[in-house]
Structure 1
């Protein structure tokens, strides 16, 4: 099992904390609250504690299942409070078969991951909103592969290996934007920047890919997700 890199962890969460601390000050300059919600809040003098509860499904991951290199599924739940704070938890599964990460061989990584975090929400108008999120992810997975060893003296030899119960953790900053499609249904896009905190380390055959994160040899990696969200009636 891996050991947590304290310096990397502190750096990642310091950065995420600064981003969240800035959000309320930006929100203070934003007065674009939908008219109906603004009227309700002014008439009662109170901001509702719970603004919405929603579930979402990532559309891009199953859409890419036709590729031979990956198969993914992800869904989650989000709570939005009246003061603009949002909290989210997500679960996903992935089977990765990246190409060209092993010379003269193949590689796979199969597993599941959890991602949870909090952030701030800006309501632009009744049908549009933007969210800034700081998340923490963790993955458990198995990996393995094969390598063809070519020899000019002896017969070619194929070496294979497999490993179980591997782990990885990362932090990420995400910017989400959503537009209402029909009542209670929103289509959204999430731009994520992930920072790898730690993963299992091996000599000779290092971990190449991490379910939920991406290529393990990249300390930081961007990602783009397309999703559909259903907000429960308020």
Structure 2
């Protein structure tokens, strides 16, 4: 009986040991599979991540390079397109055609022309000559006034070329005028007969300075230019009638304007021909 029990116990022990060994083997196999799976999955993810980075990074880098290339190309083109401004030595003759508009009027007649010598260093020597005959109706309320004379101006301009066609410039002038004036006026009285008096003064003179801002443009024919100026005239001196028995002061100065204004603005337009 005892032997039989020992035999059965030994059989059960062997079965238990065999089952335990099989269980350990199964656990080891599972661990190894998981390890292999873990090693495989990160590698795959890494490949996918690297591929994604390449796909994301490459277009960005390409765009930046292309933008840089386009920007460099644009700058190069703009520098290449900008023309070189050439200033040459030239002798010039100009006429103030705006003065011709005064010919049909009955209160003033003016003419003005001039010459200029342009140099490569952007300086231009300028000389003007003009003639004017003025009949301002507001000079004497109860009479007439006429002034007639010549004027001369000389100065210099400094050119600021915008391109080979358009030019801006600034300059200065010193001017003088010689003129004669005459007129008449009537003194009326309710008690006495009206008295008419006349006056005439010759060889009067005046001087002034001008600050000039101008612009001009070349026409299709490069020998012809058209332009305009704005000048601020500053009266320096002019003859007065102190000690004269006539109470009428000089009203206008040819080439300048009204004698009683210390400054006078002026606009001129001209056409120019150059060699």
Deviations 1:90-114 (A, max 9, x none): 1101101111121211111101010
1:77 and 1:123 map into 2 onto residues whose CA distance is 20
Does the residue aligned with 2:261 lie in a helix, a strand or coil?
Answer: coil
Match of 1:218 among 261, 265, 269: 261
Q: Distance in 2 between matches of 1:147 and 1:70?
A: 20
Deviation by residue 1:57-95 (Cα, 9 ceiling, x = unmatched): 001111221111100111000111111111100110110
**Aligned residues of 1:139 and 1:212 also touching (Cα < 8 A):** yes
Equivalent residue number for residue 64 of structure 1: 102
Q: How many angstroms does 1:147 deviate by?
A: 0.9
Alignment of 1:75-114 (within 5 A): 75-114=113-152
Q: What's the TM-score once normalised by structure 2's chain length?
A: 0.66
C-alpha contact 1:34 1:123 (8 A) present in aligned 2 = no
Instruction: Give the Cα–Cα distance (whole angstroms) in 1 for the partners of residues 102 and 226 of structure 2.
Output: 18
Query: Paired residue for 1:194?
Result: 233
**Which residue of the partner structure matches residue 185 of structure 1?**
224
Alignment of 1:85-164 (within 5 A): 85-164=123-202
How many residue pairs match? The answer is 189
Structure with the larger RCO, 1 or 2 (CA within 8 Å, 6+ apart): 1
Q: Distance in 2 between matches of 1:153 and 1:58?
A: 52
Separation of aligned partners in 2, 1:66 and 1:123: 37
Taking only aligned residues, the RMSD between alpha carbons, in angstroms, comes to 1.5
In structure 2, the residue matched to 1:228 is 271
Whose strand proportion is higher, 1 or 2? 1
- Whose Rg is larger? 2
Give how far 1:230 is off.
Answer: 0.6
- Consecutive unaligned residues of structure 2, counting only runs of 5 or more, are 1-81
Checking the alignment, whether the CA contact within 8 Å between 2:135 and 2:145 is kept in structure 1 is yes
Give the direction of change, closer, same or farther, for the CA distance of 1:83–1:34 in structure 2 (3 Å limit). Answer: farther
Preserved CA contact (<8 Å) 2:85 2:161: no
- Give the structure 1 partner of residue 248 of structure 2: 205
Give yes or no for the alignment of 1:35 onto 2:84.
Answer: yes
How far the C-alpha of 1:34 sits from its partner, in A, is 5.2
Pick the structure with more helix per residue: 2
- Relative distance call for 1:91 and 1:34 in structure 2 (3 A) is farther
TM-score by length of 1: 0.77
